[in-house]
């Protein structure tokens, strides 16, 4: 079963392209949010007739996916949104909204006390499954999300959790190279432990 992964953002189109990939139709969009953060968005086989162009303001719901590129023996991680639904909205609705609801397993946690504030830096493994075309079997993939929990929490390494938070983008320069990352800001009131779910497997196929 896929872990929950629901992203909800509002952004203005800065770049738009669409093309056919076999029998699939793909739309590639870059949007900037009210906070000034940029997101790459993909939508496959849109299910309604909607004409998009640069400058349009969109309410986008979908899933946040992690991608890995390797170049010159160096791995680079970046994130994109796989959209399930896109709606055009008016200028008056261009507000700050970069939300994420997430399930996963805590694989790392480091707690610090900074100026009397408890800060828990964690890494969440968020699993999902894709169907392999060659044999119709499902293969597990994993997103790794950095998150910060503000306040005291009983969460520990190995816990299955469900959380909701706000997406934050950070960028920095190191050895004349620019880096960018996304992490999730979570209030301790918005994170809960959940029971570990059994994986359903029937004849090597996953029930999704």
Question: Could you report the per-residue pLDDT of 46-75, keeping only the tens digit for each?
Answer: 655 678 899 999 999 999 998 887 777 777
Q: How would you classify the pairing of strands 74-89 and 38-44?
A: parallel
- Give the separation between CA 97 and CA 78, rounded to whole angstroms: 20
Count of structural domains within the chain: 2
Q: What is the value of pTM for the model shown?
A: 0.83
Same domain assignment for residues 74 and 58: yes
- The answer on 156 and 71 residing in a single domain is no
* In a shared domain, residues 86 and 103: no
Low-confidence spans in the chain with pLDDT less than 50: 198-208
End residue of a domain, out of 37, 69, 95: 95
Range of the domain at 42: 5-95
CATH of residue 13's domain is 2.40.50.140
Whether residues 20 and 39 fall in one domain = yes
Task: Indicate the residue among 95, 118, 152 that finishes a domain.
Answer: 95
pLDDT confidence of residue 70:
77
CA angle 156, 161, 167 (to 5 degrees): 105
Q: Same structural domain for residues 107 and 180?
A: yes
| pLDDT for 47 | 53
Tell which of 30, 65, 95 closes a domain.
95
- Angstrom distance (rounded) from CA 29 to CA 1: 28
pLDDT (0 to 100) of residue 206: 36
Give the C-alpha separation, 136 to 200, whole Å: 16
| Distance between CA atoms of residues 98 and 10, nearest Å | 7
Same domain, 73 and 126: no
């Amino acid at each position: 079963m896929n872990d929950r992964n629901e992203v909800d953002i509002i952004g203005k189109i800065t770049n738009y392209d669409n093309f056919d990939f076999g029998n699939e139709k793909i739309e590639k969009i870059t949007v900037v949010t009210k906070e000034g953060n940029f997101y790459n968005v993909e939508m496959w086989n849109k299910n309604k007739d909607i004409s998009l162009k640069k400058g349009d303001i969109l309410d986008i719901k979908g899933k946040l996916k992690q991608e890995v590129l390797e170049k010159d023996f160096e791995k680079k991680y970046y994130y994109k949104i796989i959209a399930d639904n896109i709606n055009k909205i008016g200028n008056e609705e261009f507000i700050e909204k970069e939300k994420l609801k997430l399930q996963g397993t805590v694989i790392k946690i480091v707690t610090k006390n900074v100026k009397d504030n408890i800060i828990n830096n964690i890494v969440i493994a968020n699993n999902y499954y894709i169907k392999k075309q060659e044999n119709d079997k499902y293969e597990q993939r994993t997103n790794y999300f950095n998150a910060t929990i503000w306040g005291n929490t009983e969460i520990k390494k190995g816990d299955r959790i469900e959380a909701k938070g706000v997406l934050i983008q950070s960028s920095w320069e190191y050895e004349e190279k620019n880096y960018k990352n996304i992490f999730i800001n979570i209030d301790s009131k918005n994170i809960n432990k959940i029971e570990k779910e059994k994986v359903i497997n029937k004849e090597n196929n996953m029930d999704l």
